Homo-oligomer: A and B are copies of this chain.
Amino acid sequence: MASNAVMEETLQILKDHKLRVTPQRHIILAYLVSHHNHPTVEIIRDALGKELPNMGASTIYNTLNTFVDHHLVVELQNGDGSTHYDYFGTPHYHAICTNCGRIVDVTYPGFSDTEKGLEEKTAEISGYMISGNHMEVYGLCPECQIKLGIKNNE
């Protein structure tokens, strides 16, 4: 269960985006804000089952799609066949393990300059009016490197 602070914060986020505040939206957003586990719809359903047992899968899909439209949340694919969701409160990107699918958030000072540079170059070259970007980096997570007996040569 999310803290009071998170509940207040997420309530405000919904209002700021002029989204009708329903218990379902509130609790789903609070879950995403307070967890960085990049959940699927199924994981969210299981996690919130105690608080809203009758919440339909369609509602979760609808809600997440709404959040994505409002750029509150981003969708991620890690190769397991279902979509993962991540609250996008602060700019970051994702490293995805090609072996186990683990997703971790990454950022560093100067990342936003990299982003900005990419977007400006893209606008210049393609003529697109840019609204956003996605960056992902693939590789083996530390656990899988060990599991697969791979030597890191540095």
Contacts and interface: CB of A to CB of B under 8 A. Distances in A.
Interface of A: 77, 93, 95, 97-98, 104, 106, 108, 111, 114, 117-119, 121-123, 125-142, 145, 150, 152
A138 B127 contact: no
A84 to B, nearest CB: 13
Nearest to A125: B106
A96 to B, nearest CB: 9
B130 A138 contact: yes
B134 A136 contact: yes
Contacts of A118: 93, 114, 135, 137
How many copies of this chain?
Answer: 2
A123 B139 contact: yes
Contact of A106 (B122, B131, B145): B122
Nearest to A77: B77
Contacts of A98: 131
Nearest to A83: B77
Nearest to A102: B128
A142 B114 contact: no
Contacts of A111: 121
Nearest to A131: B139
